[in-house]
Structure 1
């Protein structure tokens, strides 16, 4: 069963392979999920305040993945998987901080 197809495009050229087996998600999504998970683990042991400063930080952390993704989509450049993973990781950390702020502040955005 391939549940990864519901969470990612899984284009082979944009995915990592180990011993000939493709990851269930692309490099950028691998970075996102890794960033989300590692942040949650680190935050469990080293919690911090979720304030306006953290909201701004979370938005800044999502800028690199937006620039990489949009410039690749609209521009003539093709980023490499290591860059996709790195920007995805940074964006994943920013996204989880943003989501935790929304949950903590009780903002009803959905």
Structure 2
């Protein structure tokens, strides 16, 4: 690969990264660099907590569909842990780190998707009860 091809490949990677950053911002992530992971000098398009939420949602979605998971108390605890970490950090009582943000995001994402699937199932069953 000559230098011109390398430059074009780098420009293409940079443009892709810019599009992903725009997508992350439009999804509501603050994208603060100190609260984000980096890969090959490129910041993730979403922060560590949002990364955890997204991963948690992708992990639990198939599990809910195939095995079911509707432990309401556990889901509330998981969301509460994520919320407490965010609030404590926001009021500057305790500084969080990216690993903690990722873990609390995983718990929160897991719980949010689990609750979403559970509540969607209830709504779907209620709708089906009205169909003759």
**Same fold per superposition (TM over 0.5):** yes
Please say if 1:58 is aligned against 2:75: yes
Question: Secondary structure at 1:106's aligned position in 2?
Answer: helix
Deviation above 4 Å: which 4+ runs of structure 1?
Answer: none
RMSD across aligned positions (CA): 1.7
Consecutive unaligned residues of structure 1, counting only runs of 5 or more, are none
- What residue in structure 1 maps to residue 63 of structure 2? 42
In structure 2, what is the equivalent of residue 91 of structure 1? Answer: 108
Bigger proportion of residues as helix: 2
Aligned length: 103
Q: Is the counterpart of residue 67 in structure 1 residue 87 in structure 2?
A: no
Q: Which has the larger radius of gyration?
A: 2
Q: Higher relative contact order at CA 8 Å, sep ≥6: structure 1 or structure 2?
A: 1
- Structure 2's unaligned 5+ residue stretches are 1-18, 125-132
Secondary structure of 2:67's aligned partner: coil
The alpha-carbon deviation at position 63 of structure 1 amounts to 1.4
